[in-house]
Amino acid sequence: MGLSVGIVGLPNVGKSTLFNAITQSAKAQAANYPFCTIEPNVGVVAVPDERLYQIAKMEKSKKVTPTFIEFVDIAGLVRNASKGEGLGNQFLAHIREVDAIAMVLRCFENPDIVHVEGSVDPIRDAQIIDLELIAKDLETVSKRIEKVEKPAKLGDKKAKEELEKLLRLKEILENLEPIRKHTELPEDLLEYTKKTLFLLTTKPVLYVANVDEEGLSGNAYVKQVIDYAQKEKAPALVICAKLEAELVELPEEEKLQMLNAYGLDEPGLNKLVRESYALLDLITFFTAGEKETRAWTIKKGTKAPQAGGKIHSDFERGFIAAEVINYEDYIKVGSMSKAKELGLVRLEGKDYQVKDGDIIYFRFNV
């Protein structure tokens, strides 16, 4: 789908270590000094989904294809990045290109790892990042106001309407609040912020508390991050980037042993990928058969013809109907043929909104 999550944070908080682990690669150089990452690294990651493999097993599929999400490791922001400090404008431009932000916050003490602010304080770090994004958005909005103000005063109706939108946004930003917090804004105004102005603070945020091994069971910093995320009505998760980087190097059996040793039921990276997927308001549907079982990514609320179009444009153009069974019903009977025998496969039309976990066979004619 081309949707991407930017891994963002101050220098030396563990972003590149996390990116290396999540992409099971060494693309991102990890080192103990600021601006180690300059150009953004991009990795495409399979979305972990046990349902896919369960369906493939039951259908005896020869091929299994997961769905994917893109992660971008963006260089560390610093205070006054919006004014060009560090490599500020370059980094802010990279953030503009992603669809959502995973904000990595350092939640561990280690005198050997330099913190650019001189101390560990995850909430201060989050606020520094937000203030830089707000400052850049305010600059964008102010420049746009300069362009439309004159025609608006001369009576141009469209310019006047746009100016009203811009002044509302400026008021929010001058109060040092990100646009994403203002869910009460009209839909057309939110669309304008995203598709015309490309504002940074409209992007949804996931807070990632990066801890050391001892912090996996929680610490004072983690509590601060979780409380902060709750106030922001944003998701948060705890992850040990160092441990995750070690886990990806291990054979499956040793990986399970290490997870058990830390009281974990799965790698934190699986949770990060799933949370990022949810953050982008995405769901998964499946196509299944002996030849291949495959997961497909769509936006929540997508209708059946458009979902079919993700597979092939002919499916959307010549859509007739969709044969649908949800995974929960499918798993109870154990096969598509059995589900059809029992009348559990529904025939849905063009107005059907695909649900997460639907297994679909598309009928089409072109």
Helix ranges restricted to H, 196-342:
220-232, 241-247, 252-261, 268-279, 304-311, 313-317, 327-333, 336-341
Q: Is 251 helix (H, G, I), strand (E, B) or coil?
A: coil
Cα gap 142→137, rounded to integer Å:
8
Q: Is 313 exposed, middle or buried (0-12, 13-18, 19+ CB in 10 A)?
A: exposed
CA angle, 55 as apex, 25 and 285 as ends, to 5°?
Answer: 75
* Binding site as annotated, residues for ATP: 12-17
Q: Indicate the residue type of 20.
A: N
CB 71 within 8 A of CB 4: yes
Residue 321 half-sphere exposure toward CB, CA atoms < 13 A = 6
Strands 68-73 and 4-8: parallel
Residues annotated within the binding site are 12-17
Rounded distance between C-alpha atoms, residue 265 and residue 32, angstroms: 31
Q: Can you tell me the distance from the alpha carbon of 135 to that of 128, in angstroms, rounded to the nearest whole number?
A: 11
- 72, two tokens: 């971008």
